[in-house]
Amino acid sequence: MTYRPLPKELTIAKSKIEGLGLFASEDIKKGVILGISHVRDNRFENGFIRTPLGGFINHSEDPNLETIFIIEDRFLKTIRSISKGEELTLN
């Protein structure tokens, strides 16, 4: 298995929201779990370590992602279809 810091469907680019953000490099369907964004580790602030996936997410009042927990870790899941070029966001 090869480690990829981001899923193949995502890239990092300049955001209109703030700094850099995550963007779809291809269309993504509703209900897709994109991967782990935060790993539980109580040695760190807030009890989590952010992965590259979690480190570039911007927030929006009209998000296209939600956070789900699998065991103690946080994963990102699409709550609607996302078009190529669209920024991925959480509320």
All structural domains of the chain with their residue ranges: 28-90
Q: What is the pLDDT of residue 1?
A: 58
Collapsing DSSP states into helix, strand and coil, what is residue 64? coil
Tell me the HSE value of 2 on the side-chain side, using a 13 A CA sphere: 4
Average pLDDT of the residues in 23-37: 96
Average pLDDT of the residues in 43-62: 90
28-90 fold: Beta-clip-like (2.170.270)
pTM beyond 0.85: the answer is yes
Q: What is the pLDDT of residue 77?
A: 97
User: Beta strand 65-70 with 20-24: parallel, antiparallel or unpaired?
Assistant: unpaired
